[in-house]
């Protein structure tokens, strides 16, 4: 989507140091971290929120990515968060999973 910041990050239009990258998913650090580690797991394809996620393989890959990236970084204790909808605090309308850890 043209004006979506996470689309621009995911497709390389905005140079970003990715923590992890696959054909379908990217992971990068949150610009305004709320914990010592604060990463975002983002599908490359534009999906507005969890409510619009239909692809079950992508669903699985997103969670698998959370597991793989935290394991690779040696993070065993962490929170995951998906804000869905403005009323729940979603600010960027491109699906993302927050990973937060202070350990
Ligand atoms: P949410 O409130 O769940 O939509 O979270 C959006 C998150 O995206 C916030 O934690 C922001 O700090 C983060 N964010 C916004 N713009 C960028 C950016 N350009 N690079 C990295 N993180 C961003």
User: For residue 60, how far is its CA from the centre of ligand 1 (angstroms)?
Assistant: 22
> Domains of the chain, with CATH numbers?
5-101 (3.30.428.10)
C-alpha distances out from residue 28 to 35, 54, 56, 88, 101, Å: 14, 23, 23, 22, 14
Instruction: List the pLDDT tens digit at each of the 103 positions of the chain.
Output: 779 999 999 999 999 999 999 999 999 999 999 999 999 999 999 999 999 999 999 999 999 999 999 999 999 999 999 999 999 999 999 999 999 999 8
CB distance 89 to ligand 1 below 6 Å: yes
- Predicted pLDDT at 1: 73
User: For residue 98, how far is its CA from the centre of ligand 1 (angstroms)?
Assistant: 9
- Predicted pLDDT at 60: 98
User: What is the pTM assigned to this prediction?
Assistant: 0.98
Closest-lying ligand 1 atom to the alpha carbon of residue 93? 4
Q: What angle do CA 7, 28, 10 make, to 5 degrees?
A: 20
CB distance 31 to ligand 1 below 6 Å: yes
């Amino acid at each position: 989507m043209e004006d979506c910041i996470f689309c621009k990050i995911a497709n390389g239009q905005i140079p970003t140091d990715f923590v992890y990258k696959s054909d379908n998913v990217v992971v990068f650090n949150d610009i305004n971290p709320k914990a010592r580690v604060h990463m975002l797991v983002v599908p490359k394809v534009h999906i507005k929120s969890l409510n619009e996620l239909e692809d079950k393989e992508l669903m699985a890959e997103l969670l698998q990515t959370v597991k793989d990236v935290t394991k690779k970084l040696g993070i065993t204790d962490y929170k995951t968060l998906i804000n869905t909808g403005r009323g729940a605090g979603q600010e960027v309308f491109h699906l993302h999973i927050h990973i937060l850890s202070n350990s």
